[in-house]
Structure 1
Amino acid sequence: MLNDTNWTSDFYILTQEEAITVQSTLHPFIFFLMWLNVFLTTGGNLVTIIAFLRDKNIYSKPGNMLILNLAFADLKVGLVSLPWFNLWLHYGDWIFGEHLCKWWVIVDYAATIESMLAMLLISWDRLFMVENIQKYIRNQTRNRVVSVIIGSWLLCYAFCMFAVLLVEPITGERNIDYTVDCDFPPNFYLSVTIFEVIILFVIPVFALFYFNTKIFYIIRKRAKSVRPETLTAPMSHVVDPNQNKNSTSFANQNHQHQQESSSRHNEHADEESTNHQVTRRSLHKDRKAAITLTLLVVTFILCWAPYNFVIIMELVSVNSVPTAFASFTEYLLWLNSVINPFLYVATNPLFRKQLKKMFSCKYHD
């Protein structure tokens, strides 16, 4: 924590006086950033939820319910996880007691795990859509998506409540002094922690990599099948307007059937050109969606990897990780919830349009 003793030990290359000077100088700036993080996480995800609910074009699509679910999980991080952690760092010790600690840990872990599951579900949903759009439309209904979301939340809370409320009674050990500390009880057992890291980080990373690699492969394969020459060829059959006039005049005299044949040919060419344009627009939307998912996955790995490494290292070698760095990795994990809503702004034109309406007070279309 950021009390005097721990801070000094973390900056062990400094003298006692220098460490105190660094602490007094950085504390206001650090706590400003910490509460700014709370504001950005809560505000960003709340705006995301409101924007999606206000736009029928977004809300009506079942797959977008998964994005709403991700925003809701990240909102809980901003409302619960970060504020209480900031207060803990401010006081130096956990002064809020055992019951509040257990409630906080349950909600915090459930929200962060659900955030991870939401990204898995979003990637799976996009892969399902890209692989077989007709089957996706038939089977991926709003009720089914809502059922999956509710099931994932129940699973998260069941796991977290078991770990927090029953691990200590089952093992008969109390490793947490709730007058100064607050933690996830399974994190005190190396084998359980390694299993936890595999289930909650390693497997999701491989699953996200598989989903998004396959999405990119399918999109690239389709893009190659739509060759530039096939897209432009139909336009070469469009008849010049002057030629049309001459041809029509001539056909009115002697070759009426040629005019009809030419008209049918042009209609077919126009229809083929339109189909290719629709295909190109669809490919462009799929590429943008794939890029968004890739950014979500990369952000997830960068934010979660340090924390999972640290919780193992702390058990393998006691006091091997500086307290300040351990706190930083926890914050980095939660930073994932700050970044996600800004990815929607950068990559979703409908969301950007809805935001412009909201902030310009245009509440009606």
Structure 2
Amino acid sequence: MDGSGGLSLCFPSLNSSCRRLLRPHSESALLYTLLASVSLLTVTLNLLVIISISHFRQLHTPTNTLLLSLAVSDLVVGLLVMPIEGLRYMETCWLLGRLMCALTPYVSYCLLSASLGNMVLISIDRYLAICDPLLYSSKITLNRVKILICLCWACSVLYNGFILMGHLGQPDRFSSCHGECVVVISHISGTLDLFFSFVGPCTVMVVLYFRVFVVAVSQVRVIRLQTAASTVTAAPTAKKSERKAARTLGIVIAVFLMCFCPYYYPALAGEDTSTSLSYYAMLSWIMLMNSCVNPLIYALFYPWFRKAIKVIFTLRILQAHSQEVKLL
């Protein structure tokens, strides 16, 4: 064993063991360093989002509560899913046992479905804020948003339990040898999942954001008319900050769609969705990287997030009454 290549057994003591691919030590070190860096960055950035929205009272808004829920799912992806999936593909062996083989895909799917549900709720929130600004504050309250978030997570848990029922009951049914964890979603289930978990929600998001874009453009024209003829009483319009938030969250959703689209390629190609597919690792990691990208978008487009990070890193967050710091 010189570590420079070749094949070995995942579990040398078992005759039924799968074979593992040995990589050069330098390549393994580089891959593990990259995995640790991406996972740590994902956890750190999303933790900053969670601390910011939870700590500063000015950020306790319905929209930010939805962002908080999204950040929680992204943080758990970086903390659990990324390291486990990275270990799977770098070791080419499943070393975590039968129970973890059953639970890991389920937790991963629940987190990703919850993220999708949060995106839909964010789209609805922005639609009402821009298209119905007068009634927005009465329709969208913190308590109602919290209830919707709980329902979103509950539906994700139940839905993915149904999709992965066979795998949860028999996680090794598609494994050809000891040291393998294969998840297979049949073409029929994959096609249904494609429409229920992707096409349907994405259609809602695209339609709502197209409507938001049209209304935002018309409101800019109204504001210009108001400026030109200030004596004329114009129809109520959404605040500039609301339109800016809609644009930023529109970018978040666009990036989300680009990261999630490749995952559904097997269903579109008429194949079973299986972790044993040669290209599945690439599809999976494109999707997982969305959890790292979201807070980077906030840092680029949200001044309140940059100000919150400055308060956190300068330890002013430890001072009395730091919750009242003005960030907006």
* TM-score, normalised with respect to structure 1: 0.73
Instruction: Give the drift of 1:175.
Output: 2.4
CA deviation after TM superposition for structure 1 residue 117, in Å: 0.9
Aligned equivalent of 1:255: none
Question: C-alpha distance in 2, partners of 1:179/1:100?
Answer: 14
* 1:6-41 deviation digits (Å, cap 9, x = unpaired): xxxxxxxxxxxxx999x6654333332222111111
Which amino acid is the alignment partner of residue 331 of structure 1? W
Q: Distance in 2 between matches of 1:175 and 1:196?
A: 20
CA contact 2:130–2:212 (8 Å) conserved in 1: yes
- Say if 2:66 and 2:145, in contact at 8 Å, map to a contact too: yes
1:180 aligns with 2:179: yes
2:241 counterpart residue number: 285
The answer to which of 47-56 and 346-355 deviates more is 346-355
Distance 1:224 1:153, change over 3 A: same
Please, which of 222, 231, 236 is the counterpart of residue 227 of structure 2?
A: 231
Q: Distance in 1 between matches of 2:66 and 2:275?
A: 40
> % of aligned pairs identical?
23
Task: Please say if residues 50 and 72 of structure 2, whose CA atoms lie closer than 8 Å, have aligned partners that are also in contact.
Answer: yes
SS of the aligned residue for 2:93 comes to: coil
**303-312 vs 129-138, which deviates more?**
303-312
Q: Contact conserved, 1:45 with 1:71, CA < 8 A, in 2?
A: yes
For the 8 Å contact 1:102–1:165, the answer to whether it is kept is no
Note if contact 2:183-2:275 (Cα within 8 Å) is conserved in structure 1: no
Q: Select 1:306's aligned residue among 258, 262, 266.
A: 262
CA contact (8 A) 1:95 1:179 kept: no
Matched, 1:315 2:271: yes
> 2:14 maps to which residue?
none
> For 1:181 and 1:26, how far apart are their aligned partners in 2?
22
Residue of structure 1 equivalent to 2:118 = 118
Q: Report deviation, 1:290.
A: 2.3
Shift of 1:202: 1.8
1:198 aligns with 2:195: yes
Counterpart-to-counterpart distance in 2, 1:166 and 1:54: 42
Local SS of the residue matching 2:174: coil
* Counterpart Cα distance in 1 of 2:142 and 2:101: 36
C-alpha contact 1:98 1:178 (8 A) present in aligned 2: no
Relative distance call for 1:140 and 1:287 in structure 2 (3 A) is: closer
- Counterpart amino acid of residue 45 in structure 1: N
Name which of 225, 250, 254 aligns with 1:294. Answer: 250
- Measure, in 2, the Cα distance between the counterparts of 1:147 and 1:124: 15
Shift in alpha-carbon separation, 1:320–1:162, aligned structure 2, 3 A:
closer
Structure 1 residue 165 displacement after superposition = 3.8
CA 1:117/1:183 → structure 2, altered by over 3 Å: closer, same or farther?
farther
Relative distance call for 1:25 and 1:119 in structure 2 (3 A) is: same
Which blocks of at least 5 consecutive residues in structure 2 are unaligned?
A: 8-20
Q: Which residue of 2 aligns with 1:49?
A: 50
Q: CA RMSD in A?
A: 3.2
**Aligned with 2:286 (options 332, 335, 339):** 332
The answer to whether 1:347 aligns with 2:304 is no
Deviates further, 135-144 or 120-129: 135-144
Aligned match of 2:12: none
3-state secondary structure, aligned to 1:179: coil
Distance 1:168 1:328 in 2: 24
The letter of the residue matching 1:291 is: R
Separation in structure 2 between the aligned mates of residue 313 and residue 53 of structure 1, nearest angstrom: 43
Does the aligned pair in 2 maintain the 1:304–1:333 contact within 8 Å? Answer: yes
What CA distance in whole angstroms lies between the structure 2 residues aligned with 1:295 and 1:56? 25
- Structure 2 CA distance for aligned equivalents of residues 166 and 175 of structure 1: 11
Q: Which runs of structure 2 are paired with 1:37-116 in the superposition (5 Å)?
A: 37-59=38-60, 61-116=61-116
Deviation of the 1:155 alpha carbon: 1.0
Once residues 157 and 311 of structure 1 are traced to their aligned partners in structure 2, the CA distance between those partners, rounded to angstroms, is 22
Q: Secondary structure at the residue paired with 1:64?
A: helix
Structure whose CA Rg is larger: 1
1:29 is matched with 30
What secondary structure is seen at the aligned counterpart in 1 of 2:96? coil
Deviates more, 1:123-132 or 1:175-184: 175-184
Report how far residue 154 of structure 1 moved. Answer: 0.9
Amino acid at match of 2:286: L
Q: Tell me, which stretches of 5 or more residues in structure 1 are unaligned? A: 6-18, 235-268
Alpha-carbon shift at residue 55 of structure 1 (Å): 1.4
SS of the residue corresponding to residue 227 of structure 1 reads: helix
Residue equivalent to 1:12:
none
CA displacement at 1:320 relative to structure 2: 11
Greater share of residues in helix: 1
Q: Is the CA contact (8 Å cut-off) linking 1:93 and 1:180 kept in structure 2?
A: yes
> Measured at CA, do residues 288 and 179 of structure 1 come closer, stay the same or move farther in structure 2, by a change above 3 Å?
farther
